[in-house]
């Protein structure tokens, strides 16, 4: 992971930096606005490193503990990592001691970059992909830290800030739904959400919806493959 490899990897991570720094900043602000100690959002970003899970976990810190619900929510929100981690096995095969941290650094955005580009021939392959993962990780951690520090100094009205990640997912959903291949999954998501709202309590809606979506995708897999 030398300077030459860093210079080769950095340009690919700039779009992720723009998103991660902003969303991390929003998460840090949000946690401080809930009177969390400064170290809590920073430690969460360093140890959990999952924007969706970190935002979703905010209510669990300020309500009665629900360990089972927290575990199920975390599992269902993160289980997708198994599926998009499999295609990276070949690229990470020779990572050696860096393999474990590179797996930890593998987020949706890091996967999108690393799975679609090949390392330049004149740089170390493992170092190239490791720098992409590490840079993305640092963007998120630095954004969260900056937001937490700013929230400690400046008191703002942050009503609605916790909707930031939801808004991002809505935009991603719309863009995905525009494509022909994304319509079945999109309709599953909408239908599962409506059903979950009808049959589950608000606090358990997300896990129930995710189970319904997973079931629908498994049942409709043959149709999806055909389409």
Residue 227 has pLDDT above 60, yes or no: no
Dihedral of CA 102/17/182/174: which sign?
positive
* Domain residue spans of the chain: 3-177, 179-227
* pLDDT level of residue 168 (50, 70, 90 thresholds): low
pLDDT at 39: 92
Which of the pair, 4 or 221, is modelled with greater confidence? 4
Q: Report pTM.
A: 0.73
Query: CA–CA separation, 4 vs 217, rounded Å?
Result: 43
Query: Which stretches of the chain are DSSP H helices?
Result: 3-33, 39-47, 51-61, 67-78, 80-85, 99-104, 108-114, 125-153, 164-178, 183-199, 205-219, 221-226
Mean per-residue pLDDT for 25-54? 88
**Are the beta carbons of 9 and 138 closer than 8 angstroms?**
no
Residue from 142, 151, 150 nearest 13 by CA: 142
- Asked whether the predicted pLDDT for residue 180 surpasses 80, the reply is no
**Number of residues that this document lists for the chain:** 227
Query: What is the average pLDDT score of the chain?
Result: 80
Model confidence pLDDT, tens digit, residues 88-129: 888 888 888 888 999 899 888 888 888 888 888 888 888 899
Q: What is the rounded distance in angstroms from the CA atom of residue 84 to the CA atom of residue 101?
A: 16
Q: What is the mean pLDDT of residues 133-159?
A: 87
């Amino acid at each position: 992971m030398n300077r030459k490899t860093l210079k080769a990897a950095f340009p690919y991570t700039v779009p992720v930096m723009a998103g991660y720094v902003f969303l991390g900043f929003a998460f840090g602000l949000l946690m401080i606005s809930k009177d969390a100690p400064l170290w809590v959002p920073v430690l969460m970003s360093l140890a959990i490193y999952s924007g969706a899970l970190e935002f979703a976990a905010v209510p669990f810190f300020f309500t009665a503990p629900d360990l089972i619900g927290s575990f199920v929510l975390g599992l269902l929100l993160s289980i997708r990592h198994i599926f998009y981690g499999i295609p990276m096995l070949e690229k990470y095969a020779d990572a050696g001691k860096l393999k474990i941290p590179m797996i930890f650094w593998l987020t949706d955005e890091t996967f999108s970059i690393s799975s679609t580009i090949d390392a330049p021939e004149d740089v170390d392959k493992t170092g190239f992909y490791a720098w992409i993962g590490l840079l993305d990780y640092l963007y998120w951690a630095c954004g969260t830290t900056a937001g937490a520090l700013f929230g400690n100094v400046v008191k703002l009205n942050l009503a609605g800030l916790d909707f930031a990640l939801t808004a991002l997912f809505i935009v991603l959903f719309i863009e995905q739904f525009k494509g022909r291949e994304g319509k079945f999954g999109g309709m599953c998501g909408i239908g599962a959400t409506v059903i979950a709202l009808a049959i589950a309590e608000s606090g358990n809606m997300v896990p129930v919806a995710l189970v319904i979506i997973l079931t629908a995708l498994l049942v409709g897999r043959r149709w999806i493959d055909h389409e």
